[in-house]
Structures are given as C-alpha cells and as structure tokens.
C-alpha cells in the first residue's frame, strides 16, 4: 500500500509516517518511480509506534524498543527493552516530582495573593488627593 493508504488506515499523517521512516521506526520499499510502499504488517507497527509515543517515549527510545517486536524470542533484546522502558519511567517519575514541586510553590504564591487581595478588599478606596 502507498503512504496515503497507510495514513488513512492508521489515522497517522503522511508527514509523521515519513518521520517514522527517517527515524528507523518504519520501513518501506520503493517503486521504480520512488513511491513508498508498505506491507499490511506496517499498519500494526504504526499502531504500536503510536502507543509508544502516547506513553511518552521519544523516538530514540522507541527505536531501542522495537527490536523486541522484531525479535520476540530473543531474551537479550527483551531485557534491553525492559531496561529502556524502566529508564523512561524513572525519567517520567522525576518529571512528575519536579512538576509537583512547582505546583506546590505556585499554590503557596496563590495563597499569599489571596490573602493580599482579601486585605485590599477591606481597605476603603482612597480618595484622590488634589495635587
């Protein structure tokens, strides 16, 4: 199938499919005219790639995970894949911790602002003084 058909079947833009190919995540053959042609198996592969992106994995990590699909009986590849996913999970946990700290700091600033606004609402409006 050509890139437009793969795009329609997967819901992934042709631009993204070309990017996947550039990153080594997807392969195609070329016609004599240079058009990309994909096998039916690439539909499932694109779906898996989308799941991996949705899980927060960058393309460089996805490239290390996909060999587990290509070589499902290779324990070494399965171990490397697991290690890569654990590293990414640890990175995400660290990002969550950092974001939680930032949210807590913002909450503290918002409380200060709320108290300030409450104080201001209790002060009668100042009458403009003639200069």
The H-assigned helical ranges of the chain are 3-10, 14-22, 41-54, 59-65, 67-70, 75-122
Task: List, for residues 83-106, the tens digit of each pLDDT value.
Answer: 999 999 999 999 999 999 999 999
In the DSSP assignment, the letter for residue 2 is B
Split into its structural domains, the chain has a count of 1
Domain membership of residue 32 (yes or no) is yes
Q: What is the CATH number of the domain that holds 96?
A: 1.10.1660.10
Q: Please report the pLDDT score of residue 131 as a whole number.
A: 58
7-56 pLDDT tens trace: 999 999 999 999 999 999 999 999 889 889 999 999 999 999 999 999 98
What domain range includes position 26? 3-121
pLDDT tens-digit readout, 53-70: 999 899 999 999 999 888
User: What tokens does 13 get?
Assistant: 């833009």
Q: Residue 124 has what DSSP assignment?
A: P
CA separation (Å) from 55 to 19, 40, 46, 113?
18, 24, 14, 37
**Helix (H) / strand (E) containing 32:** none
Report if residue 128 sits inside a domain.
no
14 found inside a domain? yes
Asked, for residue 19, whether it belongs to a domain, the answer is yes
């Amino acid at each position: 199938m050509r890139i437009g058909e793969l795009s329609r079947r997967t819901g992934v833009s042709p631009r993204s499919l070309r990017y996947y190919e550039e990153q080594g995540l997807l392969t195609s053959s070329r016609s004599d005219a240079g058009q990309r042609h994909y096998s039916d198996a690439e539909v499932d592969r694109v779906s898996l790639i989308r799941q991996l992106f949705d899980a927060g994995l960058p393309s460089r990590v996805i490239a290390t995970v996909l060999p587990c699909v290509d070589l499902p009986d290779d324990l070494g590849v399965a171990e490397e894949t697991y290690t890569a996913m654990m590293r990414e999970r640890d990175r995400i946990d660290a990002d969550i911790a950092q974001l939680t700290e930032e949210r807590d700091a913002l909450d503290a600033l918002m409380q200060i602002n709320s108290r300030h606004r409450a104080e201001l609402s209790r002060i009668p409006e100042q009458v403009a003084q003639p200069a």
